[in-house]
Amino acid sequence: MAEEFLATEMDTAVRVVHLASSLCVKVQDKLRLPSSANGHVKSKDDDSPVTVADWGVQAIVSWVLAQVFGGQNLSIVAEEDTESLSKAESLGLLGAVSSAVNEALSEASKYGLPKPDKPLETTEILEAIGRCNSLGGPKGRHWVLDPVDGTLGFVRGDQYAVALALIENGKVLLGVLGCPNYPVKKEGLSNGCNQPGTKGCVMYAKKGSGQAWMQPLIPGGYPEAATLLKVSSVDDPVLATVCEPVERANSNHLFTAGLANSMGVRKKPLRVYSMVKYAAIACGDAEVFMKFAQSSYKEKIWDHAAGVVIVEEAGGVVTDAGGRNLDFSKGVYLEGLDRGIIACSGQVLHEKLIGAVYASWESSSL
């Protein structure tokens, strides 16, 4: 019975991320129009941007999960809240969110999801966004959502991800990543996301299945087929492609460059927004993702949960820099993290990287 229920949760999660990704594509297209960009983006307290898509995705995912599984005992940990959206000066923004949500939900049945009988009122949309107020923790089942991971990339027309995971008693059960700008052609990210060709996919995995899957994003519909994902077989650092965050505030580029150099990495690092870095490793477009944030920065569970399980089930390894598994049981933050996060396409590269971290650490400025 539990296995059947988990299968339903997996199926619903994949479908709702497809639907949410379609909303993001439409909103990002509008952001490219000079007349639409103003008013569709706000700044949060930490100066990071939040857009119509962030709130829109959170509303859709929350509403659909509540419809399918009931809202009573639903626990959703998510990045956005309704505070700034509820203010009087945000009326235009709330209208834009409402319009995006209702446009997307009107197509929900094409994705095999419930559809509202009539357009949702703004109060219902705010309620759906506000429902995502759980703090997670060591007990119970918690959905973990980053509605638009890499909002800066989203605003700039670059890479971003819709990330949804399910955690039970501190362990990630499943993860889904919607990557609407990910180039699905074999040349991958190095070709650049603005090149012509097929782009957009949803990746997903269930813990312990030994399988990770990718489906193409289809405008206005749900795909029939899925492709099995497998990490790269490259285990020589000389041939490895390393991913790291774009923003310097999020990672110490100098340290990771020194680390890569000490391992013999020759290729220039691939600087990518969002959890798309995990996606690149899961489908074999890159071999290493390193993130060493400044000591004052605390990693959030929604920035990693979905990506970690997808990489692991595709055959990769994800730990902190001390080689320990990431701990998703402590609430919103990844507490007790040893220095940084390392994701690799395999055990051999991972061991070399952990060794290089220990060798380099003493001489670093961190």
User: What does the pLDDT average to over 175-186?
Assistant: 88
Say what the pLDDT of residue 186 is. Answer: 53
* pLDDT tens per residue, range 195-239: 445 789 999 999 999 999 999 999 888 998 999 999 999 999 999
pTM: 0.92
**pLDDT higher than 60, residue 144:** yes
Burial of 96 (0-12, 13-18, 19+ CB in 10 A): buried
Q: Which domains does the chain have, with CATH numbers?
A: 7-228 (3.30.540.10), 237-361 (3.40.190.80)
32 confidence band (pLDDT: 50, 70, 90): confident
89 confidence band (pLDDT: 50, 70, 90): confident
Burial of 172 (0-12, 13-18, 19+ CB in 10 A): buried
**pLDDT higher than 50, residue 119:** yes
Say what the pLDDT of residue 44 is. Answer: 56
Question: Which is more confidently placed, 111 or 294?
Answer: 111
Which phi and psi angles does 70 have, rounded to 5°? 85, 140
Q: Looking at the annotation, which residues are catalytic? A: 54, 151
Residue written as token pair 């920035």: 303
**pLDDT higher than 80, residue 1:** no
**pLDDT higher than 50, residue 191:** no
| Residue 303 annotated in ligand binding | yes
Q: What percent of the chain has pLDDT over 70?
A: 89
Q: CA 142, CA 136: separation in Å to the nearest integer?
A: 6
Q: What percent of the chain has pLDDT over 90?
A: 64
Q: In whole numbers, what is the pLDDT of the chain averaged over residues?
A: 88
| Residue 79 annotated in ligand binding | yes
